Amino acid sequence: MDFAIDKKALEQSYEYMFGPSILVAPVLKPNVNAWDVYLPEHKVGWYNFWTGDKVAGGQTISTEARIDKIPLFVKAGSIIPLGTEKQYSTERVADVTELRVYAGADATFRLYEDDGVSYNYEKGQSATIEINWNEKKQTLTIGKRKGSFDGMNKVKTFKIGWVSNNNGVGLASTSNAKELIYKGNTITLKRK
């Protein structure tokens, strides 16, 4: 559906997009160490989620496949938020969101939040934050928060990481991320 004019993408029986940015390539055989993945035609390429390596689209590549690392690729021109790990939905954890920027093209992401436990979102109790990456200016803008909900943290910490080879990869936090304290107003950060 996302790559309707790429005939080879349409032939892939098991690969799928998880949202608009993440390509998932399930491993369907036991005891393999590598897996062939077709990366659909995309003018600015794909990033390996586990390594940060950037690869051109429109080709089949062999990638590492382990029991604990399903092949995942992120479209260049994407913003992926990662939150603090929770054991259950109501667990109170530090309100830190890592934003990983997969450069190569402009990107937009709308971060949605609610209390996570009630149906109060049906009554308008939720908040959104528009996040934009401008490739030409090399700037990330975290927009003004819209909305609110009971129990919402007014101050939020964002850790910004630009993905590259072995930086901002996998499930661990980005080691050299830029930390921003966000109080609901627009912040623009230039990549250095």
| pLDDT recorded at residue 86 | 79
90 and 42 both lie in a single domain: no
Burial classification of residue 97, based on how many CB atoms lie within 10 Å of its CB (0-12 exposed, 13-18 middle, 19 or more buried): buried
Count the helices and strands in the chain (H runs, E runs). Answer: 1, 16
pLDDT digits (tens, 9 = 90+) for 145-182: 999 999 898 999 999 999 998 889 998 888 789 999 99
66 and 145 both lie in a single domain: no
Q: Which residue among 75, 104, 130 closes a domain?
A: 75
pTM score, whole prediction = 0.90
Q: Which residue range(s) make up the domain with 36?
A: 7-75
11 and 65 both lie in a single domain: yes
How far is the C-alpha of 171 from the C-alpha of 176, rounded, in Å?
15
- Return the DSSP state at 122: G
Span between the terminal Cα atoms of the chain, in Å:
36
167 and 116 both lie in a single domain: yes
pLDDT digits (tens, 9 = 90+) for 44-70: 999 999 999 999 999 999 999 988 889
| pLDDT recorded at residue 7 | 76
Position 93 confidence tier, pLDDT thresholds 50, 70, 90: low
Task: Report the percentage of the chain scoring pLDDT > 90.
Answer: 70
Q: How many domains does the chain have?
A: 2
99 within a domain of the structure (yes/no) = yes
